[in-house]
């Protein structure tokens, strides 16, 4: 065996598990497809900041520097992850894109790529909840003459100045990209096919994730009723923008639907001012025009898909029955899966934020692995 425990992914989850094992005297190997710790964050758009506060988002045993703002930038987060890896002497093997995961009879796992392979007793998969870009196949997309990209490759709005840009989808990425486009002189339109729940980033100076943590033991529908009046007072009615609000609140959305509301960082103001337009679902595209489900049509110079990500776990572990659920997510995250010696970390959506949840999952996994040594 090359090691007792191998971890796939040097993002927050992988680093947290590796540090937990290192503090218990173990020396895990971490495989990372990119060239730096926190690689997936490096390729997100430039203005990206955490929507959760720094007090709830740190890795085990290392607070964020006092000089960091309450909501950290992408670059500050990457700097923090790299420092965390150095301080915990984590053995990261960069440039290792995993292609195959095989089970060894009674002894563990074989993980391989194009020209390399490792054998390990225990395997921890920490490749990230938002791993693989999802992009729907829209009728006529192949004939559209303008620029087309996914939010995974969008960097900033500089090159879109003066252009008519169709942003498809309004999750947190779509909302923030539309805002970035406006601030760079573009003319964005959001295509939104479903109701959108918008919440403030803070309520009376308290971050929304902290409020969610304080009410996590309250039944979600009761918590929504308690917080609803203040949320509505701060956000107001936004259906005159073209958006529709759902008939449930944020805690219900997170706990029952496992989706995160849109945390407003300025997009709503631009929607109300008419600087960001809203259209319904797209029916078809041609060389320069999008036709929508309300029978309207508009010309565009570019399209940005903000249609989210999948975990991308099926090619790696989909062959093992019961390991993944019907949505392609791990059936268990933060403990041993239905396959002995196989663990997942960082795939649980919670009201307090995934980074906070990762701390608890990583601690449980490292304790279980150390106890089984």
Among residues 305, 323, 340, the one where a domain terminates is 305
CA atoms of 189 and 124, how far apart (whole Å) = 41
CA atoms of 263 and 109, how far apart (whole Å) = 40
Among residues 286, 305, 324, the one where a domain terminates is 305
Q: pLDDT tens digits for 100-142?
A: 999 998 789 999 999 999 999 999 999 999 899 999 999 999 9
- Whether 201 has a pLDDT exceeding 90, the answer reads yes
Question: For residue 227, what pLDDT band results from cuts at 50, 70 and 90?
Answer: confident
Decide if 333 contacts 258 (C-beta within 8 A).
no
Tokens encoding 219: 């039944």
CA atoms of 292 and 278, how far apart (whole Å) = 11
Decide if 341 contacts 369 (C-beta within 8 A).
no
158 and 299: one domain?
A: yes
23 and 160: one domain?
A: no
274 and 345: one domain?
A: no
Question: For residue 226, what pLDDT band results from cuts at 50, 70 and 90?
Answer: confident
**Per-residue CA distances from 127 to 61, 111, 133, 175, 308 (Å):** 22, 14, 13, 25, 16
105 and 74: one domain?
A: yes
Domain holding 320: CATH number?
3.50.50.60
Among residues 274, 305, 336, the one where a domain terminates is 305
Total domain count for the chain?
2
Tokens encoding 212: 């969610």
CB-facing half-sphere around the CA of 53: CA atoms within 13 A: 17
201 and 116: one domain?
A: no
26 and 148: one domain?
A: no
82 and 174: one domain?
A: no
282-285 β-sheet, strand order: 282-285, 289-292, 297-299
293 and 341: one domain?
A: no
Q: pLDDT tens digits for 166-186?
A: 999 999 999 999 999 999 999
Summary mean pLDDT of the chain: 94
Decide if 109 contacts 98 (C-beta within 8 A).
no
CB-facing half-sphere around the CA of 169: CA atoms within 13 A: 20
- Whether 256 has a pLDDT exceeding 90, the answer reads no
Phi-psi region of 314 (alpha: psi -120 to 50; beta: other; left: phi over 0): alpha
187 and 112: one domain?
A: no
**Widest Cα–Cα separation across the chain:** 64
Domain limits for position 149 = 136-305
250 and 212: one domain?
A: yes
| DSSP result, 235-286 | H---GGGT----SS-HHHHHHHH--PPEEESSHHHHHHTTSSEEE--EEEE-
Residues 6+ apart with CB under 8 A from 16: 59, 60, 345, 358, 359, 361, 362, 363
227: helix, strand or coil:
helix
Decide if 124 contacts 17 (C-beta within 8 A).
yes
125 and 147: one domain?
A: no
- When pLDDT is averaged across residues 83-102 and rounded to a whole number, the result is 97
Question: For residue 217, what pLDDT band results from cuts at 50, 70 and 90?
Answer: confident
Q: pLDDT tens digits for 274-309?
A: 999 999 999 999 999 999 999 999 999 999 999 999
202 and 148: one domain?
A: yes
The reply to whether the predicted model has a pTM over 0.85 is yes
The C-alpha angle 321, 332, 52, rounded to 5 degrees, equals 140
């Amino acid at each position: 065996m090359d090691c007792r425990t191998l971890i796939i992914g040097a993002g927050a989850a992988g680093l947290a598990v590796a540090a937990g094992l290192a503090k218990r005297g173990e020396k895990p190997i971490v495989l990372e497809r990119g060239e730096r710790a926190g690689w997936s964050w490096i390729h997100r758009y430039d203005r990206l900041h955490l929507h959760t506060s720094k007090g709830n988002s740190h890795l085990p045993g290392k607070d964020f520097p006092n000089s960091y703002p309450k909501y950290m930038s992408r670059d500050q987060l990457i700097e923090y992850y790299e420092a965390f890896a150095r301080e915990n002497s984590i053995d990261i093997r960069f440039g290792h894109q995993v292609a195959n995961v095989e089970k060894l009879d009674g002894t563990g796992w074989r993980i391989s790529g194009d020209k390399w392979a490792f054998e390990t007793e225990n395997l921890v998969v920490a490749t990230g909840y938002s791993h693989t870009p999802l992009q729907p196949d829209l009728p006529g997309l192949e004939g559209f003459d303008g620029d087309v990209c996914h939010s995974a490759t969008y960097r900033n709005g500089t090159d879109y100045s003066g252009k008519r840009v169709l942003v498809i989808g309004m999750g947190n990425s779509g909302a923030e990209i539309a805002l970035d486009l406006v601030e760079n002189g573009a003319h964005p339109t959001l295509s939104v096919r479903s109701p959108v729940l918008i919440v403030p980033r803070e309520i009376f100076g308290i971050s929304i994730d902290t409020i969610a943590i304080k009410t996590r033991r309250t039944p979600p529908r009761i918590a929504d009723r308690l917080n609803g009046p203040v949320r509505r007072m701060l956000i107001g009615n936004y259906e005159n923008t073209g958006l529709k609000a759902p008939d449930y609140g944020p805690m219900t959305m997170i706990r029952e639907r496992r989706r995160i509301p849109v945390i407003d960082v300025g997009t709503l103001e631009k929607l109300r001012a008419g600087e960001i337009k809203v259209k319904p679902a797209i029916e078809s595209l041609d060389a320069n025009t999008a036709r929508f489900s309300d029978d309207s049509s508009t010309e565009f110079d570019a399209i940005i898909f903000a249609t989210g990500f999948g975990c991308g776990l099926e090619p790696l572990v989909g062959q093992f029955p019961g390991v993944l659920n019907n949505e392609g997510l791990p059936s268990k995250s933060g403990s041993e899966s239905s396959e002995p010696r196989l663990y997942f970390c960082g795939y649980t959506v919670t009201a307090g934020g995934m980074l906070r949840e990762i701390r608890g999952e990583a601690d449980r996994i490292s304790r279980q692995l150390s106890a089984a040594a």
